[in-house]
Structure 1
Amino acid sequence: MNKLETFGTIAAQAARGEISFPTSVNAVLRLQQALNDPDCHLEEAIRLVLGEPQLAARTVALANTSAFNPGGHPITNVRAAVTRVGYRNLQMLVTSLIVRQFGSRIADPNLRAKCEQLWEHTVQVAALASVFARRVTFVNPDTALFAGIVHEVGGFYLLSRADGFPGLLDEDPEKWAELCEDVVTREVARKLALPEPVADVVFQLRGGWLQMPPASLLDTLLMANMYATVPSPLGTAPAPLPEHSESVLDYLVDEATLQVIIEEAAVISESMEQATLV
């Protein structure tokens, strides 16, 4: 089967809803659905987290980072960790765990390296989106962080499938991978039950244009992608902006403020990486 036929097969399967998740992803999806229930109480959340050892470890690790524990008093149990990080951040952790699990079955070392780079890119974009939301666009920073975490779900899924098709994601001048990823992203987003406003932004991102002044979630994610120093290995992210002195954002963000944004995002990114146990 040639590359075009393979992309066509994967896209057709996605369009029919035939998305194949690793067993580990299906387990965490059930946890996500429970946490999304507004009637899910603290005791139930703790029980669910304890039932997923990797998530339990990540939750405790996140609660012990400087972002959530500036006093440095060790948190050693899930109950205290869930209380400290809160439901929003717990849901973000669950989603990031799902995204990361797409790479759990990849055996090819080159694809695993791409998966690692895509995760680094994702974390950086999520962190930048959160800070740009708070300082520039004034959308909800938690929503921006979440959108950053899931904005490459289609790419992660394609990487997980590419392991069975050697050379699938090699040089692709016809851009079939991008077309396939668009179809796949929509179905993966549906399976993950992404909130409609977040899903819409993820769908619009590839062809999106930065509006001036930037004020939407899409603008926030576009800026985060532009300033991310780790590119997507799939070549699907918007191109980086030129030097800041040449950027249209000069009208909104001076050099000193931009540096603060980058530094704040680096702290958030580090906290997220500290909480990631792969």
Structure 2
Amino acid sequence: MSDLIEKYFASLTEDLENDRLVLPILPEVAIEVRKVVEDENATAGQVADIVCTDPALTARLLSVVNSPLYRGTAHISHVQHAVSRLGMTIVKNLVLSLIVKQLFQGKSGATAKRLHEVWEHSTQVASISFALATQFTTLETDQALLAGLVHDIGKIPLITYAENQPELQNDAVLFDRVVSNLHARLGATLLEKWGLDDDLIAVAGGHESISRISGTKPDYVDLVIVANLQSHVGSDHPLASVDFSTVPAFTKLGLDPEVNCVDIAGVAENAAAAHEMLSLG
């Protein structure tokens, strides 16, 4: 089995280096929003103008900013008002979050089923990451949400690749092993190609390195490691059998590994609010 996995990794790596591997493309609107936000002289109006070039994205963004997670005392009906109230960085991350959701859609059959399963898992991890960031860290909650959404992004090109590989299509065990072993490396490569933050690239590449030790303060990788493990509690996934007391990320977040973190007061509520918001987009 390991020889087959290495064969596919070698093939995928070669395809990637020679631009033969089909990778999800980051839409132009996301690229432009990111560029503008990085300009210290940018205005809310400039960000709004870019978002509004995509009517569907505009509608989804307004739906999200009026959700219980973000809404204030007044209903927001214009993107510029959303940017002014929430700030450009939060809106940038929300735009990316909404666009990531699109990447998991538009397929049919077995591919659609697999993409849907990954998306559902990603929203669960994102919601828990948001809740943990809110209560146990000073990390940006919108970035934590996005980190959870993209942690398994490397599975998308692998699922697409398998469409043309009968051996992977017909052998679920082999397919799962290939995805398990390769998605983190491929995810980090994809986010790097998109030009996303180093924090997000680190999450995609390191979220299953559960023995990881990095500094004394929790970071986004720690958040997603814990959220990912938590999401598998009670399932038949291999990570469900991990002894949380052996995972440094729990200590860095100040969490008792013997306590289910979603049972901590406030965590479930914040996670539910984040999950509801993601379902709106």
Alignment partners' CA distance in 2, 1:103 and 1:62? 18
Residue deviations 1:184-225, cap 9 Å, x none? 223201122121233123212222227699833322211111
Secondary structure, in 3 states, of the residue corresponding to 2:173?
coil
Alignment partners' CA distance in 2, 1:256 and 1:273? 19
Alignment partners' CA distance in 2, 1:254 and 1:47? 44
Aligned to 1:216: 219
Aligned to 2:16: 14
Aligned to 1:101: 102
User: Residues 29 and 192 of structure 1 are in contact (CA less than 8 Å); yes or no, is this contact kept in structure 2?
Assistant: no
User: Residues 154 and 182 of structure 1 are in contact (CA less than 8 Å); yes or no, is this contact kept in structure 2?
Assistant: yes
Aligned to 1:147: 147
Aligned-pair identity (%)? 22
Secondary structure, in 3 states, of the residue corresponding to 2:103?
helix
Aligned to 1:206: 208
Q: Using structure 1 for the length normalisation, give the TM-score.
A: 0.77
Alignment partners' CA distance in 1, 2:229 and 2:262? 18
Alignment partners' CA distance in 1, 2:234 and 2:187? 19
User: Residues 232 and 239 of structure 2 are in contact (CA less than 8 Å); yes or no, is this contact kept in structure 1?
Assistant: no
Q: CA deviation at 1:269?
A: 1.3
Q: 1:207 to 1:223 in 2, by over 3 A?
A: same
Q: Using structure 2 for the length normalisation, give the TM-score.
A: 0.76
Alignment partners' CA distance in 1, 2:241 and 2:146? 21
Secondary structure, in 3 states, of the residue corresponding to 1:106?
coil
Aligned to 2:116: 116
User: Residues 133 and 140 of structure 1 are in contact (CA less than 8 Å); yes or no, is this contact kept in structure 2?
Assistant: yes
Secondary structure, in 3 states, of the residue corresponding to 1:171?
helix
User: Residues 50 and 78 of structure 1 are in contact (CA less than 8 Å); yes or no, is this contact kept in structure 2?
Assistant: yes
Alignment partners' CA distance in 2, 1:210 and 1:31? 34
User: Residues 104 and 119 of structure 2 are in contact (CA less than 8 Å); yes or no, is this contact kept in structure 1?
Assistant: no
User: Residues 19 and 187 of structure 1 are in contact (CA less than 8 Å); yes or no, is this contact kept in structure 2?
Assistant: no
What is the total number of aligned residue pairs between the two structures?
266
Alignment partners' CA distance in 2, 1:21 and 1:102? 10
Q: Which has the higher contact order (CA 8 A, sep 6+)?
A: 1
Residue deviations 1:13-57, cap 9 Å, x none? 22445553456x443443344344224322211111011222211
Secondary structure, in 3 states, of the residue corresponding to 1:266?
helix
2:141 paired with 1:135: no
Q: 1:255 to 1:61 in 2, by over 3 A?
A: closer
Alignment partners' CA distance in 2, 1:53 and 1:19? 30
Q: 1:207 to 1:187 in 2, by over 3 A?
A: same
Aligned to 2:87: 86
Q: CA deviation at 1:111?
A: 1.9
Q: Which amino acid aligns with 1:272?
A: L
Alignment partners' CA distance in 1, 2:230 and 2:133? 14
Residue deviations 1:242-268, cap 9 Å, x none? 799xx9843796879624212221111
Report matched runs for 1:155-166 at 5 Å: 155-166=155-166
Q: Which runs of 5+ in 2 are unaligned?
A: none
Aligned to 2:35: 34
Alignment partners' CA distance in 2, 1:143 and 1:231? 27
Aligned to 1:171: 173
Alignment partners' CA distance in 2, 1:15 and 1:207? 25
Q: Which amino acid aligns with 1:219?
A: D
Alignment partners' CA distance in 2, 1:66 and 1:172? 42
Q: CA RMSD in A?
A: 3.7
2:193 paired with 1:191: yes
Aligned to 2:65: 63
Alignment partners' CA distance in 2, 1:50 and 1:79? 10
Residue deviations 1:143-174, cap 9 Å, x none? 32222122111012322333344563622288
Q: Which runs of 5+ in 1 are unaligned?
A: none
